[in-house]
Amino acid sequence: MEYVTISTLNNWKQKKNKFAAVTAYDFSFARLFSNQGIPVMLIGDSLGMTIQGHSSTLPVKIKDIEYHTRAVRKGAPHSFLLSDLPFMSYCETKQALKNTAKIIQSGANMIKIEGGKWLKKIIKELCDRSILVCGHIGLTPQSFNYLSGYKVQGKEKKDENRLIDEAFLLEEAGIKMLVVECIPSILAQKITNNLSIPVIGIGAGKNTDGQILVMQDLLGITEGKTPKFVKNFLTGSSSIQEAIKKYINEVKEGVYPNPKYSF
């Protein structure tokens, strides 16, 4: 695989070439994903649940993201790595700059932060220092207590308008990519079509520029009830490699997520 950069992703958006992304937490899976052609990997604070066994992402620390970012970078030297800043690690500018430096030095190409208007100043300060920033709106897992759980966002007109406004505001502040999670597919399409930056969806329909899934969900090894948007690509596949290829191809062809896996 050739090096994937933010310019690569921007070109794909302009050409309407959809791309698949996945969470990764270790060397072995990162290498497997890279070898199958996954261009973008997220070292997500979802590791709090999938790796550490917590009930939410909130206990994850910067040192956890650093550790897993280093491992993933070794397994995927050419992929575009996106790493989360975990809960309460970017509440003010000085703290955000310090923690971002640790993550970028661990091998990430870009950091991801959750939230809307309140992040404007912090995003500008990061971008002024040549840091690539990804926004995250809709269902923001770090706010699950405030949101009263993991629920679809943007169903009401006022919430739809708020999310559209947040997307524009974040792009104006300087983000170079946006994740939209658990929002109606029509809303995700509006946001994607009206931003100049790549938009990655999770539970946001098929009309975003890219799709991302948690690797455990994609491979059907998540215990208990899974969200509506999750498809087990290992079903009917002879290997993990084949499942990943199937995921990549269905995203590229616009087959996944179909209405069954959308809101």
Give the active site residues: 181
User: Rounded to whole angstroms, what are the CA distances from 177 to 5, 54, 86?
Assistant: 12, 28, 18
Give the pair of three-digit tokens for residue 43.
């070292």
User: Rounded to whole angstroms, what are the CA distances from 164 to 94, 193, 230?
Assistant: 28, 11, 24
Summarize the annotated binding site for 3-methyl-2-oxobutanoate as residue ranges: 45-46, 84, 112
What is the spatial distance between Cα 208 and Cα 16, in angstroms, rounded to a whole number?
Answer: 10
Give the pair of three-digit tokens for residue 134.
């990804």
What is the spatial distance between Cα 241 and Cα 34, in angstroms, rounded to a whole number?
Answer: 10
Summarize the annotated binding site for Mg(2+) as residue ranges: 45, 84, 114
DSSP 4: P
Summarize the annotated binding site as residue ranges: 45-46, 84, 112, 114
In the chain the beta strands, taken as DSSP E runs, fall at 19-23, 40-43, 80-84, 110-114, 133-138, 177-181, 199-202, 210-213
Q: What is the largest CA-CA distance in the chain?
A: 49
User: Rounded to whole angstroms, what are the CA distances from 97 to 76, 121, 125, 262?
Assistant: 25, 12, 8, 36
